[in-house]
Amino acid sequence: MDYGTVKTPQDLKRLDISQLDGLCDYLRGRIIDTVESNGGHLASNLGAVELTVALHYVFDCPHDKFVFDVGHQAYAHKLLTGRGDRFDRLRKNDGISGFPLPDESEYDAFGTGHASTSLSVALGLAEASARLGDGGRAIAVIGDGALTGGLAYEALNAIGSERLPVVIVLNDNNMSISKNVGAMSKYLTRLRLSKKYLRIKTEIKRAVSIIPLLGDGALHLLDKGKRLLKRVVLSNKMFEAMGISYYGPFDGHNVGELIEVFSQAKRKGGPVIVHVMTDKGKGLRSAVTDPEHSHGISSSDAGATHDFSSVLGDFLTDAATRDKRVTAVTAAMAIGTGLEKFSLSHPDMFKDVGIAEEHAVTYCAALAAGGLKPYFAVYSTFLQRSFDQLLHDVCIGGYAVTLCVDRAGAVGADGVTHQGVFDLSYLTVLPNMTVMCPTDGAELRAMLEFSLTYDAPLAIRYPKSYTVDREHTPIEYGKWETVRESKSDITVLCAGGRALDIALAAADRVDVRVVNARFVKPLDVGFLREHGKKGCTFITVEDNVAHGGFGCAVTEYLNSVNSAARCVVLAHADAFIDDRSVDGALAASGITKDNLIKIVKSLE
Ligand SMILES: Cc1ncc(C[n+]2csc(CCOP(=O)(O)OP(=O)(O)O)c2C)c(N)n1
């Protein structure tokens, strides 16, 4: 059969169950081929194929609302909901998003990208359906990794107390990006083992019938079996006690079994959790054997060549041998933030707290309060959810937490949900917070060295990569570095490496002073005073939104001292960036060499 003709859930429902394994093979092939060329989330998608097929077979999407947590496992869903023909343009500007997007398809009930939101979303959608009387159900697909996020528990708390038809498919592969962590993960392992224990139960029954023939040894075994069984029965009760029926665990790659259990969950009416066990990377040997490094595959990143994250990892690994207070914290992103090496060399000084950015920040504040030296390495976009923890727990107390804010600025193919263009705004607004932007690896190292003796909240923000290491003047608190001197009245102030690369390229064509504004907070007000005379212009360049960003701070300062100097701000507009390439996102906001040259010429 040509499975390419299965384009919609209606086409799928016409198939016989015996044909579904073939369909799954076909979907896997499409996913592997496309991710190989476009990049994307590989292992998570391969693990979710059967459960997605079974959900579409049983439920009636889009009338029933499917919500994929994180949304990084929704490729099969996309292939089955009218997007197969465009799938080869996955993550491209003219193609389809790597995450569910309601604007892209009516089958995507809600947009996702950040973890642990799906349960709140499903409950809200179920409530809306109930109130509007349309009879729709809400189905959340959530991984065991996403279930480490606090928001998921807030939602479970609410779901258990409502009687709405929310079906939670817990896609448990024992992995987040790295091995999953925490007590809930251990609990799920116990539930998985319960399958084995249920088998023991049958054995026990059989043994009881022949005990008179077996003697004391058998009695001992029997006792042990009963104890195990009691633990299992008790452990199954957690979700039930919260008012959520628990079905499972089931083999998440057995489509027939999944169809049966999803049908039961559908009939049930109230909230149900269906626990399915899957293999991350299923169907591709390299992904199964190394799911961590097959979680996300990046398409080749033209231009920039060096990763900031490995500079961080190397520095902290070395610093931890010199300073026993150093503690590296990640929220399930050890590989992406460069901490993998640290985790192996200093396991006792490393903490993966799971997808729990709020917890991580408050935890770091307390580590610092207790006398340790915590470094929280986190992607800019995921730190967004920790704003109150930064304010209430870190900054009011002034604790020496160092935030290593990775993937700052435009991020490329992951798209709108992952752009790191808000951090300068949400960090600089915090009293007591110092914010630095390294322009290259050498400067990041210098800033980290500075951080070791700096005793207050500090954020160091940088994108994924940089182009080249340059010579630098030593770090001096609150002081900028002039990179190219000029007699010109125009000074380009750069926040970060991308800005500096643009400014230096422009300075080859027009006469301007170029400054590395390595401290975004505090500003180098001495410099601004000295170069902010009448007739002078500052042009700020940053890979952040304009509101609350670097240029905004410079403008605000100049206004506050009634300076005669002008400030032109090059930053992202007040709009979400949906461009799926870094250069495209920068160009869309005019953060380019050519635009900078144009502005300088218009001022001359
Ligand atoms: C708030 C937040 N933090 C971190 C991430 C990065 N991230 C994407 S997927 C993922 C692991 C998710 O694990 P799980 O839910 O078990 O799904 P799996 O990939 O194992 O199928 C992480 C940490 C994110 N998307 N959102």
Q: Consecutive 10-residue runs of the chain (604 residues): their mean pLDDT?
A: 97 98 98 96 97 98 98 98 97 96 98 98 98 97 97 97 96 94 90 69 62 60 61 68 93 97 94 97 94 84 77 98 98 98 98 98 98 98 98 98 98 96 98 98 98 98 97 98 97 98 98 98 98 95 98 98 97 95 97 98 92
Pairing of strands 434-436, 519-521: antiparallel
Q: Please identify, by atom number, the ligand 1 atom nearest to the C-alpha of residue 69.
A: 15
What's the pLDDT score for residue 210?
62
- Residues whose beta carbon lies within 6 Å of some atom of ligand 1: 44, 47, 70, 72-73, 114-115, 143-146, 171, 173, 175-177, 280, 331-333, 355, 357, 382
CA of 115 to the centre of ligand 1 (A): 6
Q: Is 94 helix (H, G, I), strand (E, B) or coil?
A: coil
CA of 145 to the centre of ligand 1 (A): 6
Out of 78, 83, 137, 280, the active site residue is 280
CA of 381 to the centre of ligand 1 (A): 13
- The model's pTM is 0.94
Instruction: Name the residue at shortest CA distance from atom 16 of ligand 1.
Output: 145
Map out the domains of the chain with their CATH numbers: 3-176+249-293 (3.40.50.970), 306-466 (3.40.50.970), 483-603 (3.40.50.920)
Q: Please identify, by atom number, the ligand 1 atom nearest to the C-alpha of residue 115.
A: 26
Q: Please identify, by atom number, the ligand 1 atom nearest to the C-alpha of residue 355.
A: 3
Instruction: Name the residue at shortest CA distance from atom 11 of ligand 1.
Output: 176
DSSP 250-294: EETT-HHHHHHHHHHHHHH-S-EEEEEE--TTTT-HHHHH-TTTT
Identify the helix (H) or strand (E) that includes residue 543: strand 537-545
Which one, of 43, 39, 13, lies nearest residue 28 by Cα? 43
CA distance 495 to 516: 7
What's the pLDDT score for residue 284?
94
Token pair of 588, please? 């869309």
Query: Which residue matches tokens 């990208």?
Result: 113
**Annotation says 36 is catalytic:** no
Q: Please identify, by atom number, the ligand 1 atom nearest to the C-alpha of residue 146.
A: 15
CA of 301 to the centre of ligand 1 (A): 22
Widest pairwise Cα distance in the chain = 104
CA distance 344 to 320: 12
**Burial level of 103, CB count in 10 A (0-12/13-18/19+)?**
exposed
What's the pLDDT score for residue 231?
54
CA of 245 to the centre of ligand 1 (A): 25
Instruction: Name the residue at shortest CA distance from atom 17 of ligand 1.
Output: 143
**Annotation says 385 is catalytic:** yes
CA of 112 to the centre of ligand 1 (A): 11
**Annotation says 604 is catalytic:** no
CA distance 259 to 93: 36
CA of 178 to the centre of ligand 1 (A): 9
Token pair of 267, please? 């009939």
What's the pLDDT score for residue 205?
61
What's the pLDDT score for residue 341?
97
Out of 50, 357, 358, 481, the active site residue is 357
Which residues fall within 8 angstroms of residue 129, CB to CB, at 6 or more apart? 65, 135, 136, 137, 138
Buried b (16+ CB within 10 A) or exposed e, 52-66: bbbbbbbbebbebbb
Mutate to test the pocket of ligand 1, among 176, 290, 297, 386 (most ligand atoms within 8 A of CB): 176
CA distance 291 to 293: 6
Identify the helix (H) or strand (E) that includes residue 515: strand 513-516
DSSP 148-197: GSHHHHHHHHHHHHS---EEEEEEE-SBSSSB--SHHHHHHHHHHHHHHH
Out of 385, 498, 513, 580, the active site residue is 385
Angle ∠(394,398,400) on CA atoms, nearest 5: 80
Cβ neighbours, 10 Å, residue 82: 16
Q: Please identify, by atom number, the ligand 1 atom nearest to the C-alpha of residue 147.
A: 15
Beta-bridge mates of residue 96: 90
Query: Which residue matches tokens 């189905």?
Result: 139
CA of 246 to the centre of ligand 1 (A): 23
Mutate to test the pocket of ligand 1, among 70, 294, 330, 387 (most ligand atoms within 8 A of CB): 70
Query: Which residue matches tokens 């403008």?
Result: 555
Residues in the chain: 604
Q: Please identify, by atom number, the ligand 1 atom nearest to the C-alpha of residue 180.
A: 16
